[in-house]
Chain A
Amino acid sequence: MSKSVIVIGGGIAGMEASAYLSAMGFNVTLFEKDEKLGGHLLNWERLFPTKRLGSEVLTFLKKGMDDKIKVHTNTNITKINSENGKYFVTNHNNEIFEADALLITTGYDLFDARRKEEYGYGIYDNVITSAELETMFLSGKPIVNKQGKVPKRIGFVHCVGSRDRKVGNVYCSKVCCVTAVKQATEIREHLPDCETYCFYMDLRMYGAKFEELYNEAQEKYGVTFIRGRLSEANETIDGSLLVKVEDTLVGRPLKMTVDLLVLMVGFEPSKGTKDIARILNLSTNSNGFIEVVDEHTLTNVTNQKGVFVAGTTTSPRTITNTIYDARAAAAEIACYLNLYTIESRVKN
């Protein structure tokens, strides 16, 4: 009888790893807390750096989910026991599922922007998050502010909830810089008369084609980049926002009004990731994500034997890197279930 794997979390990593594990002949059961598979990808219209549709990637992932994979949506995990190298997973209906290995792909939640009070999210009408702007794009409706006015100027604030010791997140969320560049160019496509400004600390254009998108944003789309972190946003009488920032390249403070302020919210370990870490007693790193045994060589291996991780459960990453990581985890699990353990290569 072939061995079985339970995958917890049906986002990009969970779907792609399930597809690979099933293709390799393992019995796969996938649990997802929400109604639909796809995770955050369901809420994103277009993807950086090419601006292709997110739904195309979702279709690809769905096609990988063959009939042999047992998918349980709207499912929460309440308990996990292990005995003689087997795992017993209990769901919210007290049903018990057995597996030889577990893959945790519970991912991330977006930073709650209300925690950066000075930017006024949840206080002022026209301060929104990058995810909310994406919902606007996805709806296909015209881009307007809360007063129903077509914005003439939009500001994007980078690093909201990332690289910020004060909110407890010292790490870079990796995707927000290029998302801001992408969204600013999309605004220019939707609203050619709307000026767009990115307020940044550093621009981290590390991925393939990111720098090209950045150059295009400046030259073709006329997006203006101002190096400086917003100190505050204040609502004016007409609902627009007066933002204050030090233009650090000029070396002087700057103020401007914008009709819409978009906060580029970062990644935090999801509630599901924290819950599973507690249930399974998994080590977490200083950022709260699940810790892998070795960052360079044992990237999908946790401190618990037979429990593996993939995707943004271990750190913020792009969709491309999440898919790589899911396939790597599938390979790792296949080795483990065939009694080849990678640990033997690194331990004395």
Chain B
Amino acid sequence: MADFGYKIQEDRQINYDSNDRTLFYFLKRVEPSISLCIGCGTCSATCTVGQFTQFDLHKIMLYVRRGEKVHIANEIKKCMLCGKCSLVCPKGINTRNIIFQTRKFLHSNK
């Protein structure tokens, strides 16, 4: 069959009704400060990993909150747990613990 080059575009819309937010609810329980994130980006600005890779903590956290499936496991591995993000966060969010707990969750839900 001739290939005309047409394809079905993937839906970019976040479907909040059907998305699975189990990881977020888990993080909210173990580290309630996650709710305070306003997406200011200070954590990402100070992040050494972010300087050299696509790693972006506040964006990952936002995807988690919306229940969007991203390659969290791969992304979160890049973090060196240096904790500079916790140091600079104006909302006092324990970002380091969020990453730590996310790893824990992913490990136990393998």
Is A250 engaged at the interface, CB distance under 8 Å to the other chain? yes
Cβ-Cβ contact count across A and B, 8 Å cutoff: 43
> Do A219 and B32 touch across chains, with their CB atoms under 8 A apart?
yes
Report how far A225 CA is from B37 CA in the complex, Å.
Answer: 10
B51 on interface, CB distance cutoff 8 Å: no
Interface contact A255-B36, CB-CB below 8 Å: no
Interface pair A219/B35, CB less than 8 Å apart: yes
CA distance A218 to B28 in the complex (A): 11
Kindly identify, within residues 38 to 90 of chain B, every residue whose CB is under 8 Å from any CB belonging to chain A: 38-39, 59, 62-63, 65-66, 68
Chain B's closest residue to A223 (CB) is B35
Inter-subunit contact B39/A256 (CB<8 Å): no
Q: Is B13 an interface residue (CB 8 A)?
A: yes
Residues of A within 8 A of B91 (CB): 215
Say yes or no for B17: interface residue by CB 8 A criterion.
yes
The reply on A249 being an interface residue by CB < 8 A is: yes
- The interface bits of chain A over 210-241 (1 if a CB of B lies within 8 angstroms of the residue's CB, else 0) are 00000100110010110100000000000000
Q: What's the Cα separation between A256 and B12 when bound, in Å?
A: 14
Among residues of A, the one whose C-beta sits closest to the C-beta of B59 is A250
Residues of B within 8 A of A215 (CB): 36, 91
CA–CA, A73 to B110, complex, Å? Answer: 71
CB atoms of B66 and A247 under 8 A apart: yes
Interface status of A298 (Cβ within 8 A of chain B): no
- Is B97 in contact with chain A by the CB < 8 A criterion? no
- Chain A residues, CB < 8 A from B28: 222
B16 interfacial by beta-carbon distance below 8 Å = yes
Chain A interface size, as a band, is 10 to 19
Does A254 lie at the interface of the complex (its beta carbon under 8 Å from any beta carbon of B)?
A: yes
Cβ of A148 under 8 Å from chain B: no
Chain B residues with CB below 8 A from A284, complex form: none
Nearest CB in chain A: distance from B61 CB, A: 10
Q: How far is the CA of A252 from the CA of B19 in the complex (A)?
A: 14
A257 at the interface (CB under 8 A from B): yes
Q: How many residues of B contact A (CB 8 A)?
A: 20
Q: Which residue of A lies closest to B65 (CB)?
A: A224
Determine if A253 is an interface residue (Cβ-Cβ < 8 Å): yes
Which residue from B13, B35, B36, B59 sits with its C-beta under 8 Å from A254? B13
Q: Which residues of A contact B30 (CB under 8 A)?
A: none
A250 and B15 form a contact (CB under 8 A):
no
Selected from A225, A252, A257, the residue in CB contact (under 8 A) with B12 is A252
| Nearest-CB residue, chain B, relative to A248 | B39
Whether B16 and A254, one on each chain, are in contact in the complex, defined by CB atoms closer than 8 angstroms, is yes
Q: Let me know if A253 and B13 touch, CB within 8 A.
A: yes
Instruction: Give which listed residue, B15, B35, B66, contacts A222 with CB less than 8 A.
Output: B35
Interface residues of A in 241-287 (CB under 8 A from B): 247, 249-250, 252-257
Partner of A218, one of B13, B17, B35, B63: B35
On chain B, the residues within 8 Å of A257 by CB distance are 17
CA–CA, A260 to B32, complex, Å? 27
Q: Decide: B36 and A218 in contact? CB cutoff 8 A.
A: yes
Q: Which residues of B contact A250 (CB under 8 A)?
A: 14, 59, 62-63, 66, 68
Distance (whole angstroms) from the CB of A323 to the closest CB of chain B: 31
A237 to chain B, nearest CB (A): 14
The 5 A-B residue pairs with the shortest CB-CB distance in the complex, in nearest-first order: A256-B16, A254-B14, A218-B35, A249-B39, A253-B13
12 A-B pairs within 8 Å (CB atoms) are namely: A215-B36, A218-B35, A219-B35, A225-B38, A249-B62, A252-B14, A253-B12, A253-B14, A254-B13, A254-B14, A255-B13, A257-B17
9 additional A-B pairs beyond A218-B35, A257-B17, beta carbons within 8 Å, are A215-B91, A218-B36, A219-B33, A219-B36, A224-B65, A252-B12, A254-B16, A254-B66, A256-B15
Measuring CB to CB, which residues of chain A are less than 8 angstroms from any residue of chain B? 215, 218-219, 222, 224-225, 227, 247, 249-250, 252-257
